[in-house]
């Protein structure tokens, strides 16, 4: 088969006719100020039949060596088609398990609930999927002689961990802007270890985001937040991969926790691409889940997306989505409209119990995934998610990054939470008899 020339460029996501190369330093449409998206040459992609794409991707799913062993670069024609091997910066992202939770599914009357384990990755969150694409693009820019002194991001923790790890792999300086005292210790230690310049600012995420946008007006400091649409090209692979793992079928519902809302849009892009190339033939419905304490999209949804205004985010255990002014709100609203989507929210108690409940089935969930799982229960009990549905919940980070949340839950020290599934260690005297009594009490 001769290799068709697949191409992609930046285009305005609001429909203006602006176009730019993926190596340009540009984040917004100069005409309307809207976000950009990566536009692929669909007619070139259509020159391969759906069955050819499926077997190509399936054959690469077992590849042993990078870059094709990466779940993102194993689908490189759909991500950044003309990127050369030498520019790819990969830590082996993607190819993450789809973990079935059959007991939870049965309890909710659903055919299946699967957790897409995006936190099982190099830095422990789905942010790796997008960062491999962005940092690879920067590596290419630098090779082509563009002056990029550093890559920078504002972060609720996981973006900075991913950015600094990929930059460390590529030997590119990174700068991360963190809201002081609002990220977990594990998340703070990651960019420190990977050699980033870690700026701890006395503000919240929204404040950090404002400052990083100002600083990156200097084109030699490249912006790595998800308003940079290169990130979404990698993140959309979650949609493709989960359908592949279901035998190239879309589930009935996909639920994702939403903060800055890039991921919700990215999922939509992945499903759209598969639909337009014929790899799947059904449109799943999408649910975005937010914490009650930081719920701008919930409010927007209730207004039929007429009102997309920001809120002041309140402290929540789901710190990675404690965002009041999401950069990708418009994009997420569009995605939800075209996927017959809904938005649901979760209280602190419910997100904590839902996370703990999934752990009892073998997962080790972060509080953000707890928000998505709590939304799943609410939507299934309300009948919005019909009985017998097949549901995939996107687990966005590894629970180990949030061990303070886990420990607090089981110790019973979290504010506003009285854990239903608390399982604190049992203190026993160091004798066989005391231990046997403890066994009998627990096991009957």
Ligand X SMILES: *Cc1c(COP(=O)(O)O)cnc(C)c1O
Applying CB under 6 A, which residues contact ligand X?
125, 127, 158, 226, 257-263, 320-321, 366, 368, 396-397
Which residue, 69 or 321, has its beta carbon nearer to ligand X?
Answer: 321
Shortest Å distance, C-beta 369 to ligand X = 7
Closest to ligand X by CB, 23 vs 225, is 225
Sign for the CA dihedral angle at 357, 418, 206, 304 comes to positive
- Does the CA dihedral 165-98-85-4 come out positive or negative? negative
Distance in angstroms (rounded) separating the CA atoms of residues 244 and 259: 26
Minimum CB–partner distance for residue 327 and ligand X (Å): 8
- In whole angstroms, the minimum distance from the beta carbon of 364 to ligand X comes to 13
Phi, psi of 247 (to 5 degrees): 75, 40
β-partners of residue 154 are: 177
Q: How many residues does the chain have?
A: 444
Burial class (CB in 10 A: 0-12, 13-18, 19+), 2: exposed
CB of 172 to ligand X, least distance (A): 21
Minimum distance, C-beta of residue 328 to ligand X, in the bound complex (Å): 7
Helices and strands (H, E) in the chain, number of each type? 16, 13
Closer CB to ligand X, 23 or 290, in the complex = 290
Q: Which is nearer to ligand X, 67 or 262 (CB)?
A: 262
Of 69 and 261, nearer to ligand X (C-beta) is: 261
Nearer of residues 45 and 366 to ligand X, judged by Cβ? 366
Cβ 257 to ligand X, closest distance in Å? 5
Report the alpha-carbon distance of residue 11 to residue 106 in Å, rounded.
44
Question: How many CB atoms sit inside 10 A of residue 444's CB?
Answer: 5
d(CA 296, CA 309): 7
Q: List the Cα angle 259/213/215 in 5-degree steps.
A: 140
SS3 (DSSP) at 215: helix
Q: How far is the CB of 5 from ligand X (least distance, A)?
A: 31
CB nearer to ligand X: give 69 or 372: 372
d(CA 69, CA 198): 31
Q: How far is the CB of 248 from ligand X (least distance, A)?
A: 25
Q: Which is nearer to ligand X, 123 or 377 (CB)?
A: 123
Phi, psi of 178 (to 5 degrees): -115, 140
């Amino acid at each position: 088969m001769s290799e068709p020339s697949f191409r992609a460029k930046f285009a305005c996501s609001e429909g203006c006719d602006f176009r730019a190369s993926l190596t340009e330093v540009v984040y917004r449409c100069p005409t309307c100020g809207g976000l950009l998206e990566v536009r692929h040459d669909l007619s070139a992609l259509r020159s391969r039949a759906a069955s050819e794409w499926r077997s190509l991707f399936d054959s690469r799913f077992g590849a042993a060596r990078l870059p094709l062993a990466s779940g993102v670069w194993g689908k490189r024609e759909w991500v950044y088609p003309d990127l050369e091997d030498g520019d790819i910066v990969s830590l082996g992202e993607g190819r993450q398990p789809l973990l079935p939770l059959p007991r939870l599914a049965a309890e909710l009357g659903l055919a299946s609930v699967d957790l897409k384990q995006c936190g099982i990755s190099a830095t422990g969150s789905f942010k790796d999927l997008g960062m491999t694409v962005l940092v690879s693009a920067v590596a290419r820019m630098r090779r082509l002689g563009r002056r990029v002194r550093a890559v920078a991001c504002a972060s609720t923790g996981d973006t900075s961990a991913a950015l600094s790890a990929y930059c460390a792999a590529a030997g590119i300086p990174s700068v991360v802007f963190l809201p002081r005292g609002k990220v977990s210790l594990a998340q703070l230690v990651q960019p420190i270890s990977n050699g980033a310049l870690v700026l701890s600012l006395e503000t919240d995420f929204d404040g950090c985001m404002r400052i990083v946008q100002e600083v990156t007006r200097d084109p030699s400091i490249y912006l790595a937040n998800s308003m940079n649409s290169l990130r979404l090209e990698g993140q959309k692979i979650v949609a493709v991969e989960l359908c592949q793992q279901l035998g190239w079928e879309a589930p009935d519902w996909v639920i994702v926790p939403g903060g800055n809302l890039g991921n919700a849009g990215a999922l939509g892009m992945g499903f759209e691409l598969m639909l337009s190339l014929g790899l799947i033939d059904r449109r799943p419905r999408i649910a975005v889940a937010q914490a009650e304490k930081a719920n701008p999209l919930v409010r927007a949804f209730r207004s039929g997306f007429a009102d997309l205004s920001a809120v002041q985010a309140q402290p929540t255990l789901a710190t990675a989505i404690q965002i009041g002014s999401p950069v990708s709100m418009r994009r997420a609203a569009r995605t939800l409209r075209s996927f017959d989507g809904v938005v649901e929210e979760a209280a602190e108690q419910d997100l904590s119990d839902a996370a703990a409940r999934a752990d009892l089935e073998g997962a080790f969930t972060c509080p953000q995934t707890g928000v998505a799982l709590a939304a799943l229960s609410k939507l299934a009990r309300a009948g919005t998610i019909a009985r017998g549905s097949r549901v995939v919940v996107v687990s966005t980070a590894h629970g180990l990054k949030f061990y303070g949340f886990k420990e607090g839950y089981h110790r019973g020290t979290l504010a506003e939470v009285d854990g239903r599934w608390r399982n604190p260690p049992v203190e026993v005297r160091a004798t066989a008899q005391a231990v046997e009594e403890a066994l009998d009490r627990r096991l009957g």
